Chains A and B, each alone.
Chain A
Amino acid sequence: MKIGVLALQGAFRAHADKLVELGVDVIEVRRPPHLDEVDALVMPGGESTTMSMLLESSELFDPLAVRIDEGMAVFGTCAGLILLSTNIEDGRPDQRSFGRFDIAVQRNGYGRQIESFETELETTVTDEPVHAVFIRAPRIVRLGDDVEVLAESRGDAVLVRSGNALGASFHPELATDARIHRLFLDSVAS
């Protein structure tokens, strides 16, 4: 099983480290040929506007949209979640997304960096709470019917699943354990 990490910009190495820790082969995806090699893809945090632009200039957007429509497992965190959503509020007018999750997200929905925070989250998929770091995080402001909420923070969905797609508005790659990444790998395998 080869897992790709979209490596255009952002926290892709932190994700790759977690996946390597779990014993899978990781490929950094920067160009279309890299995408052909992978069974699933992690889309990291970073700046979603930068990634949108680079997805176009790297000619990755269209082939990636096809793979996602064909049912490739994907895991988006923060900016990655924004790119997987159907609606982006406060985004740029030219910003495109893959629409894998029927959700609307508000960019920087929790405020500027000085409002960024860390917390413990109870989830429906782990026995013990997970440690969650929110960095200028997007806020999920609308949830479609087929989106399953795995964790909430103060009333907002922050960890969601839809089939084999997983999304987090926080950063599991900055946590000390790899439980959320394990959860994703389990969905890829099944």
Chain B
Amino acid sequence: MNEQSQSTGTPLVKRGLAEMLKGGVIMDVVNPEQAKIAEDAGAVAVMALERVPADIRVDGGVARMSDPEMIEGIQEICTIPVMAKARIGHFVEAQILESLGVDYVDESEVLTPADETHHIDKWAFKVPFVCGATNLGEALRRISEGACMIRSKGEAGTGDVVQAVRHLRTINGDIRKLTQADSAELFEWAKQLRAPLPLVQEIAETGKLPVPLFCAGGLATPADAALAMQLGADAVFVGSGIFKSADPAPRARAIVEATTNYNDPAILAKVSRGLGAPMTGIGMDELDVKFEDRGW
């Protein structure tokens, strides 16, 4: 048979990996030992970072991309995809992560933003990007910049699921409204959302985002993961919720099983038993810094 040409880094190839992660749990890990625990528990991917969001909150200061050595240590031990975070607008951190061969870059509000106006031009990369969003307009702006996966932001490092619920409901609620709008109203929707008209028209037609929608930020229990899935998330990110709990391994596994069986309360009850203390958490009204406000 003929030698066929092969194209890498295309939108289909980049969105394809997000398709494969659906129905799964992506776990924050800070060292190879945690990465091993995450993979053993059935994580579909790990997010390699130096400090989980809960610790970033406590420590304060500037949060940056992780040390490449630390990321490589995790890549060596894992057979599942490894993601890593770059600061909003910090395209050089993203270039470095791409050269390390990470499987997904998270342009993340959990790190301190490097640019107050611009996000990274994600079309310029072969590595796919995930970005956070609190509402539909923000999601569409990120997609127009080349994001291949959207995650509702929630409020990372709190263990409080309320913002994740708000953001998922906002995004999916507005998508439902768009499908009811007539063609003239879509122009006004595009203005209100500050989003490109063609994307708004596409969603009005299809009733869904053109890329997968995952949920992140504040998930701490199997029930939280199932709640996100029932609210329409395609998969979940769990950050501080696992490794800031009393007994991470069984909790990680329980959250994986809950994400698969999100519509089966009997299984959710079974896997929620005897997991020890969840992360203590911080209520939304106790916060000084809200990560969700970062991103433009």
> With A50-B42, A112-B103, A118-B7 known to touch, is A30 a contact of B260 (CB < 8 Å)?
yes
By DSSP majority rule, is chain B's interface helix, strand, loop, or mixed?
loop
Give Cα A129–Cα B19 distance, bound, in whole angstroms. 23
Interface contact B7-A10, CB-CB below 8 Å: no
Give Cα A168–Cα B138 distance, bound, in whole angstroms. 37
CB contacts (< 8 Å) of B42 on chain A: these are 49-50, 53-54
B12: interface (CB < 8 Å): yes
Interface contact A117-B7, CB-CB below 8 Å: yes
Give Cα A112–Cα B45 distance, bound, in whole angstroms. 13
- A1-28 CB mask vs B (1 if < 8 Å, else 0) is 0000001111111100000000000000
A76: interface (CB < 8 Å): no
Interface contact B23-A7, CB-CB below 8 Å: yes
Interface contact B13-A116, CB-CB below 8 Å: yes
Give Cα A115–Cα B253 distance, bound, in whole angstroms. 30
- A105-144 CB mask vs B (1 if < 8 Å, else 0) is 0011000111111111110000001000111100000000
Give Cα A134–Cα B9 distance, bound, in whole angstroms. 11
- CB closest chain-A residue, reference B263: A30
Q: How far is the CB of A58 from chain B (nearest CB, A)?
A: 8
Interface contact B12-A174, CB-CB below 8 Å: yes
B230: interface (CB < 8 Å): no
Interface contact A54-B8, CB-CB below 8 Å: no
- A152-170 CB mask vs B (1 if < 8 Å, else 0) is 1110000000000000000
Interface contact B20-A45, CB-CB below 8 Å: yes
B154: interface (CB < 8 Å): no
A35-75 contacts to B (CB < 8 Å): 45-47, 49-50, 53-54, 57-58
A90: interface (CB < 8 Å): yes
B76-102 contacts to A (CB < 8 Å): 79-81, 98, 101-102
The listed residue with most A CB atoms (<10 A of its CB), out of B13, B21, B41, B103, is B13
Q: Contact size class for A?
A: 35 or more
- CB closest chain-B residue, reference A124: B1
B222: interface (CB < 8 Å): no
B257: interface (CB < 8 Å): yes
Interface contact A114-B19, CB-CB below 8 Å: no
Q: Which of the residues B20, B80, B127 comes within 8 Å of A78, measured between beta carbons?
A: B20
Interface contact A136-B81, CB-CB below 8 Å: yes
Interface contact A117-B6, CB-CB below 8 Å: yes
Q: Which of the residues A11, A90, A122, A153 comes within 8 Å of B19, measured between beta carbons?
A: A11
B43: interface (CB < 8 Å): yes
Give Cα A123–Cα B81 distance, bound, in whole angstroms. 30
Interface contact B44-A46, CB-CB below 8 Å: yes
> With A50-B44, A118-B7 known to touch, is A133 a contact of B12 (CB < 8 Å)?
yes
- CB closest chain-A residue, reference B44: A47
- B8-38 CB mask vs A (1 if < 8 Å, else 0) is 1110110011011111100000000000000
CB contacts (< 8 Å) of B44 on chain A: these are 9, 46-47, 50
Can you list 29 A-B contacts with CB-CB less than 8 angstroms, sorted by A residue number? A10-B19, A11-B19, A11-B20, A12-B22, A14-B19, A30-B261, A46-B44, A47-B24, A50-B42, A53-B41, A53-B42, A53-B253, A58-B260, A78-B20, A112-B101, A113-B81, A113-B127, A114-B9, A114-B101, A114-B127, A116-B17, A117-B7, A118-B6, A118-B12, A118-B13, A153-B4, A154-B3, A154-B6, A171-B19
Closest 10 CB pairs of A and B: A113-B103, A117-B6, A53-B42, A9-B23, A135-B16, A47-B44, A11-B19, A112-B101, A50-B42, A119-B6
Residues of A within 8 A of B (CB): 7-14, 30-31, 45-47, 49-50, 53-54, 57-58, 78-79, 90-92, 107-108, 112-122, 129, 133-136, 151-154, 171, 174
